[in-house]
Amino acid sequence: MAATAARPVPDGYERWACLYPAYINKDKSRAEGRRIPKNKAVSSPTCKEMLDVLSTTGLQVRGERKIYCREKSKEPPFWGRVRVQLKTPAGEAVSPKFRTREDVMLYAAEKIPQLKTRTNPKHGQDGGQQQGKQGKGKKKK
């Protein structure tokens, strides 16, 4: 299911760490799935943001279309999980900086607020599209 012809599954893939955005979401309680302290968590992270941040670490990272079992909303923005290779098939750490899942979660929560999509949101683009639609409607009347 998860593998495609273009992207074969690496050896030991099933042993890679699974991380859901809820694990680092400051808006979630511990019972709802947050796994790091609230003061280190980030507001409403997405799977894509986690992939963007973790792909720069040198770790092997893959996204999967899964829904976290504790997620109340089943809408597409809440879909996704990230798989990260923390150990080689021999059991050795891939990176000394990322020995545990918590190391990866804390790193992602620290870096997501620094993404361009978070620091420079495109307010003008969305507003321009809505205005353009309204302008077309007025011309037809």
Domains and CATH numbers, the chain: 13-140 (3.30.56.30)
In terms of Cα–Cα distance, which of 10, 45, 8, 47 is closest to 27? 45
pLDDT (0 to 100) of residue 128? 47
pLDDT (0 to 100) of residue 138? 59
pLDDT (0 to 100) of residue 64? 92
Sign of CA dihedral 112, 115, 119, 124: negative
pLDDT (0 to 100) of residue 14? 81
pLDDT (0 to 100) of residue 72? 87
pLDDT (0 to 100) of residue 123? 63
Give CA–CA dist 81/79, Å, rounded: 7
What pairs with residue 63 in β-bridges?
82
Give the residues of the chain that fall short of pLDDT 70.
Answer: 1-7, 123-141
For residue 82, what is the DSSP state?
E
pLDDT (0 to 100) of residue 36? 96
